[in-house]
Amino acid sequence: MTITAGTPLRVVVWGENRHEQVEPHVAELYPDGMHNAIKAGIEENLGAAVDVSVALLDDPEHGLTEERLAQTDVLTWWGHAAHGEVSDEVVERVHRHVLSGMGLVVLHSGHWSKIFQKLMGTSCTLRWRSENDRELVWTVDPTHPIAQGVPHPIEIPQQEMYGEQFDIPKPDEIVFISSFSGGEVFRSGITYRRGNGKIFYFSPGDQDFPVYHHKDVRKVIANGVAWVASDRAERAEPVLLRYETGDFFNGRGYQGAMANHEAPVTEAAEVAE
Amino acid sequence: MTITAGTPLRVVVWGENRHEQVEPHVAELYPDGMHNAIKAGIEENLGAAVDVSVALLDDPEHGLTEERLAQTDVLTWWGHAAHGEVSDEVVERVHRHVLSGMGLVVLHSGHWSKIFQKLMGTSCTLRWRSENDRELVWTVDPTHPIAQGVPHPIEIPQQEMYGEQFDIPKPDEIVFISSFSGGEVFRSGITYRRGNGKIFYFSPGDQDFPVYHHKDVRKVIANGVAWVASDRAERAEPVLLRYETGDFFNGRGYQGAMANHEAPVTEAAEVAE
Amino acid sequence: MTITAGTPLRVVVWGENRHEQVEPHVAELYPDGMHNAIKAGIEENLGAAVDVSVALLDDPEHGLTEERLAQTDVLTWWGHAAHGEVSDEVVERVHRHVLSGMGLVVLHSGHWSKIFQKLMGTSCTLRWRSENDRELVWTVDPTHPIAQGVPHPIEIPQQEMYGEQFDIPKPDEIVFISSFSGGEVFRSGITYRRGNGKIFYFSPGDQDFPVYHHKDVRKVIANGVAWVASDRAERAEPVLLRYETGDFFNGRGYQGAMANHEAPVTEAAEVAE
Amino acid sequence: MTITAGTPLRVVVWGENRHEQVEPHVAELYPDGMHNAIKAGIEENLGAAVDVSVALLDDPEHGLTEERLAQTDVLTWWGHAAHGEVSDEVVERVHRHVLSGMGLVVLHSGHWSKIFQKLMGTSCTLRWRSENDRELVWTVDPTHPIAQGVPHPIEIPQQEMYGEQFDIPKPDEIVFISSFSGGEVFRSGITYRRGNGKIFYFSPGDQDFPVYHHKDVRKVIANGVAWVASDRAERAEPVLLRYETGDFFNGRGYQGAMANHEAPVTEAAEVAE
């Protein structure tokens, strides 16, 4: 999306905020929580073009009420230890907003979140090891807006290894591919469209290493936030509509599966839904 | 998959079998049920290379027990009026088998089935009209095995119209694009990989028209059955595994999110799952 | 690319300008030439954000000197009757600039131009008929910047028919699919990346019909111009370079095929190039 | 393509055969030439299902006459030091046969051959280093026929490094991604369709290392040969044809750019071609 001088993009950084509470070495790396490191990285790159706030797992409705999502242009998601605690109702709500046009940036261990699995339709599993591997992030799509302003490769001195096979649908675009000291490779920066929404998954980032303080990682996340923001004039959920012959612009609501040979239908005659 | 002279491919044709019971004009078009027309089309094209059976919504567990799915190479799916009656447990089971390598052919109104929505992650909505449109099915990928042996275009004299926008993920391959008399277009033959499984969606086919008796439609469905069958030596679900540095072949099971910096782990130390 | 308030985008509209000279009915539709209709459409949509000029086949070097291309952000291309008159040297030059990052919008019969064939690697053939078909242009990628601001579908009352199979590489993105009164379908709005450059092909537009005066067609072409403009900081041709172990940022020039096991090479030892 | 018990697939292994003549260490690794190692690998995996012969740069017409190509189902291509010596006429001929349906497997340094560049439309450049890197070849598309029967990853003890960015069009399918000891990554096994033909590029393989004696590399090349073989009933070049309204099956030859509004045309009225 074009980041212009107009209304700032409304960004919500969602954080699980558990490791920071339970594990001292994480709290040391991220004294304000990982979510605030992510927030700072977006603000440092996009400045006045964004208005960034935070929502946390322990907030009421995880901080993601219908009202708030309706006012959110881009949501970023980091979760790990507590994927199972995210309520199915909130996942459905976020899913509906993504299909309606809200942008979504999924970070690192968010690959195994309910919302990412629901959007992908696969297990989103992978191979991993948390052993201080060096990660190199190589750009394979040099024209992509998300790849601008970072070195080729990005060097991350210490990182958890995420390796193939990554059980995901074929990405719409592969922007980055990473290697690790141990020899593994990973499609680490990938995009998808789902409904009217755009999604960017970026794997670098971990609670055990200071990755969200890394200048280039922050730049990529900010690029991703700008890219997933919708170019559409308004948010709208995809719907199933009936159109009469020759009338391309006035759809009618669905009346039930047994009614589709009576046209026009005025009353529902459903048998089985 | 290579259809050879060896063991026949085990195909299960799943049918909802409701329209045929309730609507006389459907029963007239498909006196043995739509599922048996689909079955006959597969057999007429693949002969001794397949062993085709039928499973129905009203069978116990919809005819899709764990034991039966474990013995199924390819499942075809036709549903329409009763998507909501398919149990979530069976949908989870079919989903797991697709990710493990079972082939899936989704037909026509199956676009709105629970299993297709779960695999796609989108609403799978579209525009439609059931008004005797002529459908022309054009091949856009002339090299694809699914496109072999049919004219360009396939002509279907009477069909329900399915039109864009079809809310689906970008297909791995678009094999066919259809037009309708009314001027609409539709990505009517598309493929996806999900996990270790392959999926083919083909839109021509309807309860109100004799489409499953159409020679070319039957040929395409049979081609699709052959194509989605796995080339892999065995069925396996994708899993998340930890690999030690330098050991690429012996993964260890996941021990919980808080345990990933202690290696090797021998006992689970989960906090939050 | 982000169209901002900064330096205007430098756009060159290349036109063959032959039909207008030879055929009275074309001259009547396009009294200032098709190229000026295309230019006006871009200016009417992008205003001060673009600086548009024209280059013609009969200009010296077809108006596409090295100096001018180096100062061009986006080139649009319309040709038809005289593809064969475009010099191979200019085609090589344009090709190099596209790989280096210059955006390219190829219009209608430009599908059979030397530059498009060279970038695609295929025959770029199709089926066609010039018989006053109505064309409907359906959006299949609702998130794409190029699809914004136009109705779904775009209706073009009179158009030449272009139909599948269109012998092109699988597009990076299919933005639009068209149908024609006669029942044919066509992937009418498609994108590609080649090297550091972006390409948009859009088929609506013809010398025999007033398509370049159509409001929505002009909007799409302007969207395409904005989209193919590079986001990269500088223009650079992809090169083959040797990198020492551990030095990711300092490539060395190629020394010849027989020299690649002597490192570092200081003198070329080529046998066969 | 289905490898069945019928007529064997006619495979031509094309070899440059220069390093083996000039460099003793290459001759030692490949006493019968690299082409014969490649041939042996295909035969060891596909047996009686293939009939493999060799063609060399120094043969008349490089061994690739019109007659021979017309009798070739799959061509494999290895070149390096003498890309420039391959005649443009033979390149055009091979290109036409690929678009017509002949399968093509391009190996290693063949990435910079004239035929691969012509089919890709890009520079096909990359980063490289010949320094005994270990290459690991990871499968990212576990359902692909080309990935069957090899370990994940394939380990190649000594290899030339090929790294990103690899200036190629977005592949239709990425089957393998490699890492190297030095930390680089590479899309090492990729597929494309061009016209009616299928292409597989596989990067492992080099004159300085015994890679074509590696069991898994040989298996992948054989899988690639089987996969690129056409499923189509006959070979045919894509053509541009005019179709009258309602007649979908009888195309007429092109009569020239200025003649397209006179239908039917019986005599050519070309101005400019």
Look up tokens 């261990």; give the residue: A109
Average pLDDT, chain B: 92
- Over residues B133-152, the mean pLDDT reads 98
pLDDT above 70 covers a percentage of chain D that reads 92
**CB–CB contact A263 B170 (8 Å):** no
The tokens 């440092």 sit on which residue? A44
Nearest CA in chain B to D231: B145
Asked if C2's CB is within 8 angstroms of A2's CB, the reply is yes
Neighbours of D136 (CB within 10 A): 24
Using the Cβ of C152 and the Cβ atoms of chain B, whether some distance falls under 8 Å is answered with yes
Residue B79 tokens read as 């549903």
The vertex-B139 CA angle with B138 and B142, nearest 5°, equals: 160
How far is C-alpha C249 from the geometric centre of its chain's CA atoms? 32
- Name the minimum distance, in Å, from the CA of D59 to any CA of chain B: 31
pLDDT for C119: 98
- DSSP symbols for C154-170: EEEEEEEEEESPP--PP
For tokens 């990711």, the residue is C248
Q: What is the mean pLDDT of residues D136-152?
A: 98
Q: Which residues contact A38 (CB under 8 A, 6 or more apart)?
A: A13, A15, A76, A78, A107, A205, A212, A221
Which positions of chain A have pLDDT values less than 70?
1-5, 258-273
Measured in degrees and rounded to the nearest 5, phi and psi for residue D219 equal -65, -45
Pairing of strands C241-242, C197-202: unpaired
Q: What is the pLDDT of residue A5?
A: 57
DSSP state of A85: G
Instruction: Please choose, from the candidates B153, B200, B201, B157, the residue with its C-alpha nearest in 3D space to the C-alpha of residue B178.
Output: B153
Residue B4 has pLDDT above 90, yes or no: no
CB B225 within 8 A of CB B46: yes
Mean pLDDT, rounded, for B10-33: 96
Q: Which residue has the tokens 């996806």?
A: B192
Q: Which residues 127-146 of B have a C-beta within 8 angstroms of A? A: 127-131, 133
Judge whether A186 and A108 are in contact, CB under 8 Å. no
Residues C127, D242: C-beta atoms closer than 8 Å: yes
CA nearest to D192, candidates D89, D121, D139, D126? D121
User: Per-residue pLDDT for C260 more than 90?
Assistant: no
CB contacts, 8 Å: C126 with chain D: 240
What residue of D is the nearest CA neighbor of B155?
Answer: D248
Element (H, E) at B52: strand B50-56
Tell me the C-alpha distance between D96 and D74, whole Å. Answer: 14
What residues in D contact A165, CB-CB < 8 Å? 138-140, 142, 152
Q: What is the mean pLDDT of residues D207-216?
A: 94
Size of interface A-C (CB pairs under 8 A): 53
Residue pointed to by tokens 């015994």? D210
- Cβ pairs bridging A and B (under 8 Å): 169
Give the pTM: 0.95
Nearest-angstrom CA–CA distance, A272 and A256: 8
* Chain D residues touching C256 at Cβ < 8 A: 81
How would residue C254 be classed by pLDDT, with cut points 50, 70 and 90?
A: confident
Q: Which residues pair with C273 in a beta bridge?
A: none
| Residue in chain D nearest B237 by alpha carbon | D142
Q: Do A143 and C198 make contact, defined as CB atoms within 8 angstroms?
A: yes
Instruction: Give the tokens for residue A272.
Output: 């089985």
Handedness of CA C128, C130, C131, C136 (dihedral sign): positive
Contact A220, A202 (CB under 8 A): yes
Across the C:D interface, residue pairs with CB atoms under 8 Å apart total: 170
Which is more confident, C1 or C154?
Answer: C154
Residue A206 three-state SS:
coil
Q: What are phi and psi of D23, to 5 degrees?
A: -110, 115
Nearest by Cα to A97 from A126, A123, A64? A64
Q: Which chains touch A (3 or more CB pairs under 8 A)?
A: B, C, D
Residue B254 — very low, low, confident or very high, per pLDDT cuts 50/70/90?
confident
Q: How far apart are CA A271 and CA A257, in angstroms?
A: 8
DSSP string, D198-237: EEEEE----SSS-GGG-HHHHHHHHHHHHHHS--SSS---
* β-pairing verdict for D9-15 and D50-56: parallel
Which uninterrupted H or E stretch holds C199?
strand C197-202
Task: Look at residue D260 in the predicted model and tell me its pLDDT.
Answer: 52
pLDDT digits (tens, 9 = 90+) for D39-78: 999 999 999 999 999 999 999 999 999 999 999 999 999 9
For A4, residues 6+ apart whose C-beta sits below 8 A from its C-beta are A49, C2, C4
Whether the per-residue pLDDT at B269 is higher than 50: the answer is no
- Does the beta carbon of B169 lie under 8 angstroms from any beta carbon of chain A? yes
Query: For position A206, what pLDDT does the model report?
Result: 87
pLDDT digits (tens, 9 = 90+) for C44-89: 999 999 999 999 999 999 999 999 999 999 999 999 999 999 999 9
Q: B122 burial class (0-12, 13-18, 19+ CB within 10 angstroms)?
A: buried
Query: Which pLDDT belongs to residue C265?
Result: 34
- Which tokens is C238 given? 């992809």
State the pLDDT at residue B255.
73
| Inter-CA distances, D220 with A99, A183, B4, C1, Å | 40, 20, 21, 40
Length of chain A in residues, anyone?
Answer: 273
Q: Is D180 on the interface with C (CB under 8 A)?
A: no
Answer for the pair B136, D248: CB distance below 8 angstroms, yes or no. yes
CA B196 to chain centre: 14
Per the omega criterion (within 30 degrees of 0), is the bond before C264 cis?
yes
Residue C181: its chain B contacts at CB < 8 A?
183
Best of A19, A116, A128 to substitute, by most chain B Cβ atoms within 10 angstroms, is A128
**Would you say the ipTM is above 0.90?**
yes
- Calpha distance A88→A95 (Å, rounded): 10
Share of chain B above pLDDT 90, in %: 88
Whether A252 has its CB under 8 Å from any CB of chain B: the answer is: no
Residues 27-46 of chain C whose Cβ lies under 8 A from any Cβ of chain D: none
Q: Between residues 42 and 71 of chain A, which touch chain D (CB distance below 8 Å)?
A: none
Token pair recorded at residue D113 = 């051959």
Return all residues near C195 (Cβ < 8 A) that are at least 6 apart.
C98, C99, C100, C101, C237, C238, D122, D123, D167
Nearest to B185 among C142, C170, C185 (CB): C185
d(CA C94, CA B134): 44
Residue C190, CB half-sphere, CA atoms under 13 Å: how many?
A: 18
- CB contact (8 A) between residue D184 and residue A152: no
Q: A163 — phi, psi (to 5°)?
A: -130, 165
Q: Do B185 and C138 touch (CB under 8 A)?
A: yes
CA distance A184 to chain D (A): 7
Tokens representing A14 are: 């969602």
d(CA B163, CA B152): 20
Q: What are the tokens at B19? A: 């329209």
pLDDT value at position A6? 73
Give the pLDDT of residue D3: 59
Q: How many helices (H) and strands (E) does chain A have?
A: 7, 11
Task: Give C-chain residues touching D250 at CB under 8 angstroms.
Answer: none
At residue A133, the 3 state secondary structure works out as strand
CA dist A118 and B121 (Å) reads: 6
The more confidently predicted of residues D245 and A258 is D245
- The answer to whether residues B147 and B157 touch, using CB atoms and an 8 Å cutoff, is no
| D6–chain C Cβ distance below 8 A for any pair | no
Are the C-beta atoms of A235 and A101 separated by less than 8 Å? Answer: yes
HEC profile of A149-161: CCCCCEEEEEEEE
Find out whether the peptide bond into B145 is cis, omega within 30 degrees of 0: no
Taking CB atoms and an 8 Å limit, are D272 and C238 in contact across chains? Answer: no
Q: Which chains, if any, share at least 3 CB pairs under 8 A with chain C?
A: A, B, D
Comparing A269-273, B247-251, D86-90, D144-148, which segment has the lowest mean pLDDT? Answer: A269-273
Q: What is the DSSP string of D154-211?
A: EEEEEEEEEESPP--PPPSEEEEEEEETTS-EEEEEEEEEETTEEEEEE----SSS-G
Specify whether the CB–CB gap between C107 and C77 falls below 8 A: yes
DSSP-assigned letters across all residues of B221-240: HHHHHHHHS--SSS------
Q: Rounded distance, CA B104 to CA B199, Å?
A: 5
Exposed/middle/buried for C245, CB within 10 Å: 0-12, 13-18, 19+? middle
Q: Is A17 helix (H, G, I), strand (E, B) or coil?
A: coil
Q: What number is the average pLDDT over the span D170-185?
A: 98
**A165 vs D142, D163, D179: nearest CB:** D142
* Higher pLDDT, residue B132 or B17: B17
Q: Does D196 touch chain B (CB under 8 A)?
A: yes
**Record: contact A198-C143, CB cut-off 8 A:** yes
Residue B263 has pLDDT above 60, yes or no: no
Given CB atoms, is B148 within the 8 Å cutoff of chain D? yes
Cα–Cα distance for residue pair A106/A110, rounded to 1 Å: 6
Q: DSSP letters along D49-72, please?
A: GEEEEEEETTSGGGG--HHHHHT-
Tell whether the model's pLDDT for residue B169 goes beyond 90. Answer: yes
Cβ within 8 Å, pair C118-D123:
no
* Cβ of residue B159 closer than 8 Å to a chain C Cβ: no
Kindly report the number of other CB atoms within 10 A of residue C273's CB atom.
Answer: 15
Q: Count other Cβ atoms within 10 Å, centred on residue A135.
A: 28
Res D265: pLDDT: 34
Tell me which of B143, B194, B248 to substitute to probe the interface with D (most D C-beta atoms closer than 10 Å).
B143
In angstroms, the CA C10 to CA C46 distance is 12
Cβ distance C183 to B142 less than 8 Å, yes or no, reads no
**Could you give the CA distance from residue A85 to residue B273 in angstroms, rounded to a whole number?**
8
Comparing CB atoms, the residue among C118, C182, C192 nearest residue D169 is C192
- Torsion angle in degrees (nearest 10) through CA of B19, B23, B24, B30: -10
